[in-house]
Amino acid sequence: MSLEENKAIVRRLFEEFNKHNVALLDKLMAPDYFDHALQSRSLEDYKQFITMFINGFPDFHVTIEDIIAEGNKVWVLVKFTGTHTSEFRGLAPTGKKCKITVVHIYRIFNGKVVENWSIDDWMDCYKQLGVIEYKGFPDEVT
């Protein structure tokens, strides 16, 4: 597949996330999809996580800020926003908005996403939700 085709697959993936279309993941991702950050070892595991995510942040929206392809990998910088209105990862709903930035590196094989590495700032989201307190580094605290 071309670099542009690989980027189109990743763009479509986020379009479907924004529509909460978990069913279409079967067409975009391999059954043995592996997510290194989540340690999900199958597409079914990942779909369970996405369903939990949709339930926890039902108004979430992901915006692609930048996308780069090289070989069979696609790097994408995304901004996530959502309101925590239902349980998520054991956290009771806070009703607060959260904004985070995530970098994903997807590996594409035969037109499907087969693997993902991601770097995110969930700790910042938890701070925004008020479930943790950040006072700064020791030299920043007065």
Q: CA separation (Å) from 4 to 11, 24, 78, 104, 131?
A: 10, 20, 18, 17, 40
pLDDT at 73: 98
pTM of the full structure? 0.89
Phi, psi (5° rounding) for residue 47? -65, -35
Domain boundaries, the chain: 3-129
DSSP state of 104: E
Confidence of residue 142 (pLDDT cuts 50, 70, 90): low
Torsion (CA) 120, 123, 127, 131 in degrees, nearest 10: 130
Render pLDDT for 73-125 as a digit per residue (tens, 0 to 9). 999 999 999 999 999 988 999 999 999 999 999 999 999 999 999 999 888 89
Task: Look up the CATH architecture of domain 3-129.
Answer: Roll (3.10)
Enclosing H/E stretch for 69: strand 61-70
